[in-house]
Amino acid sequence: MKTLAAKAATVTAVSLLLGLGLTGNAQAAAYDGQDPISAGCAGDAITAQETQIWDGYTNKYDGKIQLRYSPSCRTVWGRVIAYGGVGQGMAQVYRNSDNAYQQCMISGGNWNDSLGGYSCYTPMLNDAGVTGYATGWVHDMWGHVSSDSTGSY
């Protein structure tokens, strides 16, 4: 009788833990493809990784790529900032576990004074229990394209 009760308690505990784990991941996965601002995830966002984008032609930094992370939503997204030139660029964010990705493009007119450049940010990807990274490209006024990637987080 005690053995049966112990087994039942173990099954119940494992079921609860699995249910909690799946709920956390399912909630984060529900954010895949959503806008971080309108979904309310940008409020506690941090820049988990950041890399300056170097232009070897002009020997200067033309922008930067950031991997943004929301602890409350357990999501990541990419943001690219182009410092000047023609205000064109692109960001992509990748999830390492399955290579899922989202992207955005800067096409001029997206100047952001607080960031000091033209910018765009990608829709989000679930980051619960996995890692991701961001890649960004910027164009200079001579049409040269420079790119770089962040580390994974």
> What is the pTM assigned to this prediction?
0.81
Asked if residue 134 lies in contact with residue 67, where contact means CB atoms within 8 angstroms, the answer is yes
Computed over every residue of the chain, the mean pLDDT equals: 84
Q: What is the dihedral of CA 26, 27, 30, 33, to 10 degrees?
A: -120
Per-position DSSP letters for 126-139, written without gaps between them: E-TTS-EEEEEEEE
Could you give the count of Cα atoms lying within 13 Å of 152 in the half-sphere of its Cβ?
Answer: 10
At 21, which helix (H) or strand (E)?
helix 2-29
Residues with Cβ within 8 Å of residue 23, at least 6 apart in sequence = none
Question: Would you state the pLDDT for residue 84?
Answer: 76
Q: For the domain with range 31-149, which CATH number is right: 2.60.40, 1.10.101, 2.40.170, 1.10.760? A: 2.60.40
Q: Read off the pLDDT of each residue in 126-139 and give the average, rounded to a whole number.
A: 96
- Per-residue pLDDT of 54-99, as tens digits, reads 998 889 999 999 999 999 999 999 999 999 777 789 999 999 999 9
Q: What are 6's two structure tokens?
A: 């112990």
